[in-house]
Amino acid sequence: MAQTTTANQTVTFRINKQTVKQLDKLAELMDRPRSYFLKQGVENVLDLYDWQLEKIAEGEKQIKQGKFATRKEIDKAFRLQAI
């Protein structure tokens, strides 16, 4: 999870009423403030996008180096028959 050592900053955004109801229900059940789950959710999404972008960059680098699987290797890896 992304953790920073800098001071927190307030951010405002809009979400639909049903999402707020779900968030409030979760916050109550878990005895946590609403902001805890919002912060956790944003950090998790950012971590996911960072990971995806890293993997895409790795793949692009491998393609430029000519390191990619043939159709036969892909079919074998996924146990599919070539069409």
Compute the CA torsion angle 52, 71, 76, 61 (nearest 10 deg): -30
28 φ, ψ (degrees, to nearest 5): -65, -45
pTM for the predicted model, two decimal places: 0.70
Average pLDDT over residues 69-74: 87
Within 8 A by CB and 6+ apart from 69, the residues are: 77
Chain segment 2-56, per-residue pLDDT in tens: 665 688 899 999 999 999 999 999 999 999 999 999 999 999 999 999 999 999 9
State the amino acid at position 21 in one-letter form. K
**Best CA proximity match to 34, nearest among 19, 49, 16:** 19
